[in-house]
Structures are given as C-alpha cells and as structure tokens.
A and B are shown apart, each in its own frame.
Chain A
Amino acid sequence: MSGETIRLLHAFSALADLSEQIAETRDFGEMARSALHVILGALGLRRGAVAEYEQEPGALRLVAAWGLGEDVPASFAFDAGRAELLAAAGGDVLQLDAADAPDLSRRTLGYELSVALPALRLRLVAPLVAHGELVGLLALGDKATEEAFTPDEREVVRTMARHVGVGIHNHRLLREVEARAGENRQLYDNLRSIYRDTVRAFAAAIDCKDKYTQGHSERVGKYSEIIARELGWSEEQIEGVAVGGYLHDVGKLVVERDIINAPYRIDAKQSVELNRHPAAGYEILAPIRHPDADIPLMARYHHERIDGRGYPDGLTGEQIPPAAKIVALADSFDAMTTDRTYRRRKEFPEVVADLRRNAGKQFDAGVVLALCRALLKELNGDARPRPITRLLGRDYLEPDSARPLLLELIADLEAAAHATASGV
C-alpha cells in the first residue's frame, strides 16, 4: 500500500473516529479532549487546544489541551465583536506564521491571543462555528514531520473544526435541556411538596372536627402507605394511596359535629347522616385534579366491604379499587387500635382476631396479609424505622405474644390464597 493511500485511509478513519467521539461522548470535556486527540493524531501534530467561546463574560475558556505543558492559561478574554468577525470568516483556517499573519491575527484574534498562541507554539487557528455563531476555537501546533501544512491538510482541519463546532453546539443544547429539565424537576418537586403539606394540613383540619380522633387521618395515611409499600407498589402509587388515606374522611366536614362527637353509640337516623360522608368526600375531591386520579374513589369507597355489605354503593370484591381496599383496612385498623368516645381501644390479640374474622369478608385478604407482614417485620426488627409501632404507642405491641399470632394468621392467609389460586 502506498504512503499516500495509508495517509488517506488514516484521515478517513480519523473523520469516522471524530464523528463517533462527538456523537457518543456525553461528557462535554471528554468529547473535547477526544476530538482534539483525533485531530492531532490524524495529522501527526504534537500539540493543540480546544477552547469554548463564552459570550458571557466574553472569553475563550480552555476545555482541552495536549502537549502544552502545565502552565497554560485557563481562559483568554475575547469580546463579542471579535467573535462575530471570526464567525463571519466562515471557518477559514488562520496560519499564524504566514507572511501576513501578525496583522491578520491581531485584527481577528486580538493582541492577547495573537501573542499567547505562538508563545505556546500553536501555529494554526480554526474558528469553531455552528449556525453562524462562534462556539470556540481550535489551535494546533507543529506537525511531527516539521513540514508546513499543505492546502489539503488545512482543508482537513477546516472540515474537522466544523464537526467539533457542531459537537460543541449540540452539547450546549443538551446542557440547556438538562438544566431546564432540572429546573422543571425542582419545580415539580416543590409543587408535590406543597401538595403534600396542603393535604396534611387539610387532614389535620378534618380531624379537628372530631376531638376524639385527632391524628386519625394522618395515621390512616401512614398505614395506607406502609401497606402499599409492603404490596410492592410504585412510589407514585404509594404516595397516591397515602394522600387517599389523609383525605378519606374529608366528607365528615359536611356532617354535624354533634353526631361525630356523640359520646355514645349513635342511633339509626344519625348513622344515616354519618354514612353520607364517603359520598360527600367524593363530591368534594372529584373536581380537584390530583396527581393520582383514584383519590376521590378512595374517599367514596373506604367503607365498602369485599362481601358487598358496605356503603355507599354496596360494591363487592374486584369492584372496589385496590387503593380503596387499603384505605378501608387502614381506617378500621386505626379505629380498632385507638380509644373512641364510647369505648377503649382493642388489645392486640382482639385486633388479630378481628382481622382473621373479617379477611375476605370486610377486608381484602391480600391487604390484611400485607399489613400483618409489615407488622411482623417491625416486631422482628427487619424494618427500620418502625412506623406502625410508633403510631400504636411503644407499649401496645408485646412482641412475645404478638409474633405467634401474626405468624399464625399470615400462614393461614397464605394457605387460603394458595388454595384459591389452585382452585381448591
């Protein structure tokens, strides 16, 4: 193979390498360094640098350098007027050691750069232009052959500089898109945070109406979150069901305070009034555009039962949205484990007995299983922190007696689930 063919193949291969480095290297500095290496290696040059033009503060900032030693300035002042001049030159390569170079380079590059570049033994300058704007500068040193650059080599430099210019431009666009995405993410997170705080404040307002159930909505929200996490739901779904828990009793705002706070078991008429609250809650929440569209349904259906004996719509089994099944159990679990105006809270063995009796009737058995597993993890020390234990109060759960009850119920529920799945 002739020398000229080898040189040509090497230059073609370098162009392919350059396109690949520019297209596939995500890190801007890495892209600039690789592009510089490709250009130096294509022509057998001993040194070079790539600088990025920054309109503000009007400077060429060094982003890649090779063979220049340690003491290279990090940036050079470069005003917008000169940037326009270079961009208007259309990417022409400037040879600093040409006969007319001192005047030409001083006019286009300015005094500082036209002195600094030759001092660094950089002889050839190619503006990096994209979409008619200067995005940077490529400065190259001597060839290892110590021969002058041929017109063909200057054309190779010009072509490669165009590639690098486009690469810098694209990386800038990418950086802008990423910055905007970051800002949007921040904005979104802030809005979510405001939404969560508003929901919690609203939950506190709901509970204020009932002096005996203060903190109920917040606890239902937390239990719902724990159960959903145990069921392996996504973070978005978990947040949705937690909000559903916080707001499930919002309909109580339309129920008379005397009924809610009655220090005795309410009568049938009062019960009808109280039982309006799920549908009223739905009416309140439905017009709001929640991140989770099922939140109004969680309020409406948190008193539905698997066996169809719930209210307001008497739904059964799969007709009840999964999130509403979780909120229903969380609501009842909190009711069983907190004091009310007319009764003391149940002891834990009674709660387990209630869960056993009502799994598959009042409550979804899978949801009961998830709550039991979450409780057992806390008792076994597998879950840190232990939110259920904290909500129940430190002395409520007695591990030695609670653990076997939970283990037995879990085993029974798993066996029942297995039998159902097998069609037994």
Chain B
Amino acid sequence: MVNATAGPPVRSERTGDVAVVHAADYLNRLSGERIERACREHLRAGCRALVVDFSETSVVNSIGVSILMGVIDTAERAQAPLVFAGASGQAAQLFELLGLTRHVSLAPDSRAGVALLAQYAQGVAP
C-alpha cells in the first residue's frame, strides 16, 4: 500500500490564522493526499482559513479533483473558508464545470487569496 505521507513534504506557510498550501506541478493521488493531509494538520493546529495555491500546477487530473473534494469536505467540517488561488484558466474552468467553485472561492494568486479571506473575516460574505 502506498503511504499517503510518503514523498516530499507539501510546502506551506502560515500567515496569522490563514495557511497557504502549495500544490505540486502534477496533482495526482499521492501529491493530492499530501495536500489534504497538510490542510487537516493546519486546521488541527488552529488555522481558521485555507488557501491552496495552484500557481505551480500545470495538470489537475480526475484523481486530483477527487482529492480536492476531500479538501473541501475537510474545510467545511472545520467551518474554515477555502480559497483556490493561482489556478490556470483551464483548471479554473474545470473547477467551475465540476461544481467545486460552489464550495470554494477562486483568487488569481495566494496573496489575493489571503486578502479575500481577510475580507471574509471582517464579515464580507464569500
């Protein structure tokens, strides 16, 4: 069985209550599960909002989409707003078509994503 925690760690950083998790170049099952795990760990560590940064991601396959659904579930259970940032035009269109954007907001980059979350925190509705 492949260990979901195997492989290089997911790069992430925390700014206040917001964690920014960076997706790999190719979002497949292994890299996707590492992202989901990183998100869960940040939420467990007290983060109140998440940004997943896709600026380095060139391909999101079907497995990647499924994992992102899991990230959405994780965030919803923790009542943490979630932003997908830096997705390419095609990936953003796919997120839209498959309904992911009903549950997450999109931002052009992670800085804009963090700013968007700051607005939510001040009471601006997502």
Contacts and interface: CB of A to CB of B under 8 A. Distances in A.
Interface of A: 1, 3, 6-7, 10, 13-14, 17, 27, 29-30, 33-34, 36-47, 66-67, 143-147
Contacts of B99: 44, 143-147
Given A10-B62, A42-B62, A45-B66, 15 more contacts: A10-B98, A27-B2, A34-B63, A40-B65, A40-B66, A41-B62, A41-B65, A41-B66, A41-B69, A67-B70, A144-B69, A144-B98, A144-B100, A145-B102, A146-B102
Nearest to A21: B63
Given A45-B69, A67-B73, A17 B93 contact: no
B62 A66 contact: no
Contacts, number: 88
B103 interface: yes
A17 B97 CA distance: 19
B94 interface: yes
Interface of B: 1-2, 29, 61-67, 69-70, 72-73, 90, 93-94, 96-100, 102-103
A147 B90 CA distance: 22
A143 B97 CA distance: 11
A4 B40 CA distance: 33
A67 B2 contact: no
Contacts of B29: 33-34, 37
B62 A144 contact: no
A3 B93 contact: yes
B1 A17 contact: no
A14 B62 contact: yes
B64 A41 contact: yes
Contacts of A34: 29, 63
Contact of B63 (A27, A37, A43, A147): A37
A29 B90 CA distance: 32
A96 B116 CA distance: 39
Nearest to A67: B73
Contacts of B1: 27, 29-30
Contacts of B97: 3, 6-7, 10, 44
A3 B72 CA distance: 22
